[in-house]
């Protein structure tokens, strides 16, 4: 499933794998915000391109 990552500034990147998105987002953060993003942090920002996430989505324990 295609994945997308979105930055607060409006930057958006799509890709087929988390790895590609993480690399893109880290490069963007470096170039646009002069910031180093941790790998784990970027992965938390990755979303699949589902139309809407239900607001009451219970956190899965693993
Ligand atoms: Zn940005």
Is 4 a member of any domain? no
Domain that residue 44 falls in: 15-48
Q: How far is the CA of 19 from the centre of ligand 1 (A)?
A: 18
Is 60 a member of any domain? no
Is 54 a member of any domain? no
Strand partners, 48: 3
Is 19 a member of any domain? yes
Contacts (Cβ under 8 Å, ≥6 apart) of 4: 12, 13, 14, 21, 46, 47, 48, 49
pLDDT tens readout for residues 10-55: 999 888 888 988 999 999 999 999 999 999 988 888 888 766 555 6
Total domains, the chain:
1
Q: Report the C-alpha gap between 52 and 55 in whole angstroms.
A: 9
Is 9 a member of any domain? no
Q: How far is the CA of 4 from the centre of ligand 1 (A)?
A: 14
Is 53 a member of any domain? no
Alpha-helical (H) ranges within 2-53 are: 18-33, 39-45
Q: How far is the CA of 57 from the centre of ligand 1 (A)?
A: 26
Q: Report the C-alpha gap between 53 and 26 in whole angstroms.
A: 25
Is 55 a member of any domain? no
Is 41 a member of any domain? yes
The residue among 11 and 56 whose pLDDT is bigger is 11
Q: How far is the CA of 10 from the centre of ligand 1 (A)?
A: 6
């Amino acid at each position: 499933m295609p994945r997308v990552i979105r930055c607060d500034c409006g930057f958006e990147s799509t890709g087929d794998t988390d790895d590609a998105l993480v690399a893109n987002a880290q490069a963007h953060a470096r170039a646009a915000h002069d910031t180093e993003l941790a790998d784990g942090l970027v992965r938390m920002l990755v979303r699949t391109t589902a139309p809407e996430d239900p607001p009451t989505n219970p956190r899965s324990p693993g």
